[in-house]
Amino acid sequence: MYDAVEHFEALYADTPAEFAFTATTPEALLAWQEAFRPRLQAALGLDNIAADLAGYHPWAEQVAGPEGAVDQGEYVRESWHLWVEPTVPLPFYLLRPKETRPHALPLVLTPHGHNHPHIYTGIAHTDEERDSMQAGERDIAVQAAQEGYLAIAPTTRAFGETRTEQDMTQNRVHSCRTQLMHDLLVGRTPIGDRVWDMSRLIDWAIETQNIDANRIAITGNSGGGTISLFAAACEPRISVAVPSSYFCTFTGSIGSIHHCDCNYVPGILRLGEMYDVAGLIAPRPFCAIAGQDDPIFPIEHVRRSYEQLMRIYTVAGAPERCKLFVGHEGHRYYKDGSWPFIRRHFGTDEL
């Protein structure tokens, strides 16, 4: 009789990974990264996006009226749109600390997961949103601003204002499946769209804001962790990566447990496992945050993936820059795992 689990496990085991890490020297590691990164970018559809938008320069506009800039005491919350494509005005919040310093501020990007964008900025429209935000420490952009960093909380593509009209009418949280289906027809992926958006936000911040381009971090939970990992792997300007409730193995998480359609990249296992993708970040600081009881990113697969990633960081000569923080609960953010790590590698412990 046919056993689907048996079949898929055998399929994964028999699939060769072209960029499975085997380097033993820093020079070989660099060569591996230089060969792997463009192939990953192509799998995500980033090369197609870049070709389609060649010559296009994104532009931003602040929301008019009182919602455009709201004084929150320690910081000002600004609302913006960045036209990352001619047809995509991507909403984002900019949290600007009010305490002025003579030097440029570090920048923290805080992409969200499968919830509403405003939660990351401390906005809750319902009791349920407030409870989720507080219990799961999901007001991540607020935390970044309170650390004294300029924070950008972008809308994840296919959420918020970038949902389909039908999904907005029916009050669905996201339009991920629709995004995936249309992307596949033109050689793109939702993860590629979202990585593209992170890079365009970095471009905009460097061009228009007083930020330190050498201190750019990215951290988000769940789907925000997905973006954090892939964006840092593809975008060398990101200097610190802290994905939460995502880092695992593909086979032990999205390959064996039900996940949103937006997680899937065609042929990713023919390139490498998740720890290989994360290896493209080395030797830049990387901290994976995981929940001990996370049911969709099992901790045993997280630890296995971390062991493999530590091999890569050891060859890179930077094992101290690779960390795993395990929280005592489930699928949520753990701020104790992120900000001490970011402070240390930003050099802002004294601020």
Task: Give the model confidence (pLDDT) of 271-284 as tens digits.
Answer: 999 999 999 999 99
Residue labelled with tokens 């923290």: 108
Give yes or no for residue 349 having a pLDDT over 80.
no
Give yes or no for residue 4 having a pLDDT over 60.
yes
Tens of pLDDT, residues 17-29: 999 999 999 999 9
Q: What is the pLDDT of residue 103?
A: 83
Average pLDDT over residues 163-186: 97
Distance separating alpha carbons of residues 218 and 241, to the nearest angstrom: 5
Question: Per-residue confidence at 116, pLDDT binned at 50, 70, 90?
Answer: confident
Closest by CA position to 37, among listed 345, 307, 282, 323: 282
Question: Per-residue confidence at 102, pLDDT binned at 50, 70, 90?
Answer: low
Rounded (10°) angle between helices 190-208 and 176-185: 90
Check: CB of residue 312 under 8 Å from CB of residue 21. yes
First-last CA distance in the chain: 64
- What's the Cα-to-Cα distance from 165 to each of 83, 169, 211, rounded to whole Å? 19, 6, 36
Tens of pLDDT, residues 193-216: 999 999 999 999 999 999 999 999
Torsional class of 282: left (φ above 0), alpha (ψ -120 to 50), beta (otherwise): beta
Distance separating alpha carbons of residues 256 and 269, to the nearest angstrom: 13
Angle among Cα 311, 30, 265 to the nearest 5 degrees reads 75
Distance separating alpha carbons of residues 24 and 302, to the nearest angstrom: 23
Using DSSP's 3-state secondary structure scheme, residue 154 falls into strand
Tens of pLDDT, residues 19-78: 999 999 999 999 999 999 999 999 999 999 999 999 999 999 999 999 899 999 999 999
Closest by CA position to 92, among listed 101, 83, 102, 105: 83
Tens of pLDDT, residues 135-161: 999 999 999 999 999 999 999 999 999
Average pLDDT over residues 238-254: 98
Residue type, 207: E
Please give the mean pLDDT across all residues of the chain.
96
Which domains are assigned to the chain?
Answer: 35-346 (3.40.50.1820)
In this prediction, what percent of the chain has a pLDDT beyond 70? 99
Distance separating alpha carbons of residues 203 and 185, to the nearest angstrom: 28
Give yes or no for residue 321 having a pLDDT over 80.
yes
Give yes or no for residue 100 having a pLDDT over 80.
no
Classify residue 23 by its DSSP letter.
-
